[in-house]
Amino acid sequence: MQTETLKKVNTSVEQEIEISGSEAVMKALVAEGVETIFGYPGGAIMPIYDALYDYRDQLEHVLVRHEQGGIHAAQGYARSSGKVGTVFATSGPGATNLVTGLADALIDSTPLVCITGQVFAHLLGTDAFQETDVINITTPVTKWNYQVTDANEIPAILAKAYYIAGSGRPGPVLIDITKNAQIQKFNYKGYEKCTHIRSYRPKPIVRNEYIQAAAAMINKAERPLVIFGQGVILGKAEKEFKNFIEQGGLPAAWTILGLSALETDHPLNVGMLGMHGNYGPNVLTNECDVLIAVGMRFDDRVTGRLDRYAKQAKVIHLDIDPAEIDKNIKADVPVWGDCKETLPLITALLDKKEYTSWRARFSECMDKEIEAVIENELNPTAEIMTMGEVIHQMNQITGGDAIIVTDVGQHQMVACRYAKFTESKSNITSGGLGTMGFALPAAMGAKYGAPDRTVVAIIGDGGIQMTIQELGTIMQNNIDIKILILNNHFLGMVRQWQQLFHERRYSFVDIDSPDYVTVAKGYRIEGNSVAKRENLVSALTTMLHHKGPYLLEVHVGKENNVFPMVPQGCGVSEVRLK
């Protein structure tokens, strides 16, 4: 009897092992299914990197050239894979270099866990070397953050971090771990994933009365319009969304983050909303009688002036985040919940309709836009190339199967307008924050998240110079991405505004560029530069079929503008075609 009791006690003790806080971090990452970490070591996070040395066979680490590159890479990984991205950075400047990416990830609902090192707990508040109050700095730009000063907290806190980052409306989480907690030994009792936090409800309770009210309102509509955003992609509800619009015969327009949730050639896809969106969706927003918003937040670049936005329409708003309901546009029917759950409930109650004459209005508007804008953009007669024709020719080669990662500026709007997509999670861009320098590192991460897909980074001559050092990361890891620089020798979007609204007073928008092909060669990356139309198709074909990273610079018109355009301070129906 006594012997049997002793055996039980010994077994219990054997289940507990003494490990360091740093090793507990590694065990947490493995348990959470982390595949790739993007990071940069330093003094305050050195114990974690020391522990990582023994986990190299289980955890892949990508050494970036700047912490901002690391967090943008993690964003690209999360967006292409649908998983939580992971970042390491040291204290002080390492942590503060993450702030732009955190702000970008928060506004675009990108799930990240950032783990930063911190000085010893007894040095907090003493202005120690590379000490920064990263918790207070990052509170406004994280979904949640926490500082660990005791190693015993690490398993539970990291479990909570990954749960919060990836659940509900996703977002970035930052965990700051003091150096003493990284070194400290403690009795490790195993890792348990978090599935519930008291007072945190990631998915609102679906209310059946709103489901019924939404369906009834749609069934009575004569001119319905669906506008959809990234919530469809984040909710993994692409199939449910397609069933919804097909059952109701509902024309659907997308925000730039919603792009690729529905294939671009789908007959009910009527185009892009917003400042540089398609003519039809913008004008007809102010003519529809029922506006159904799915997983989008009525951003100002979509709505223009709120007092002139869809005043004639009844509004149905589906969103997982109750804070978005009524924030900018008052909803007549608020449908709280995960759209993967709410869309099928509404679809089951919809009448089968076609709306032939209403959908014909979108076709008429598109014909007008083709004549005024698109034909000249895709098939120009001028000698110099346009950004649109470059994207158009690339579509012909990729067939819409590539992941397109764009930076911010004119090229971004042109790519979003003209790129073709057949598969979800294919359009990766900085939407809400508009972060120049995003595309190159985000494309690196996108390739790790979707290694079997072609990844093309489309970047302007301004944005590429903000994070060009990540060519070193691409070189060291032989990351097979294609870098397409559309060079108009200007900060193009700012120049367009200065031309149209500031009497061509071009104030500091001329930007010189290095010889990008020579720069790429210095990083042992193949490249080419073209300025003549007759060389474009062969250059794009070479780039896309090349094994390994490749950089292609295409010289395009210096003063070409992106139209249509809704000028700032105007309503969406005031969209200009020229």
Residues assigned a catalytic role: 67, 129-130, 179, 493
Q: Letter for the amino acid at 187? A: N
Q: What span, in angstroms and rounded, lies between the C-alpha atoms of 552 and 200? A: 47
CA distance linking residue 81 with residue 42, whole number of Å: 28
Cα gap 398→391, rounded to integer Å: 10
Handedness of CA 288, 294, 298, 304 (dihedral sign): negative
Q: What is the DSSP letter of 494?
A: H
| Residue 533: both structure tokens together | 């139309």
Beta pairing, strands 17-20 & 185-188? antiparallel
Give CA–CA dist 383/463, Å, rounded: 26
**Burial class of residue 212 (count of CB atoms within 10 Å of its CB; 0-12, 13-18, 19+):** middle
d(CA 116, CA 94): 8
Q: What share of the chain is helix, strand, coil (3-state, %, to 5)?
A: 45, 20, 40
Q: In the structure encoding, which two tokens stand for residue 204, read together?
A: 């609102």
Helices (H), 124-187: 134-138, 154-166, 179-183
Closest by alpha carbon to 455, among 473, 486, 475, 481? Answer: 481
DSSP string, 307-328: GGSSTTSEEEEEES-GGGTTTS
User: Which pair of tokens denotes residue 357?
Assistant: 């004459």
Helix or strand (DSSP H, E) at 145: strand 144-148
Residues 327, 165: Cα–Cα separation, whole Å: 23
Residue 23: its H or E element = helix 21-31
Other beta carbons within 10 Å of 11: 9
> CA-CA distance, 115 to 97, in Å (whole number)?
13
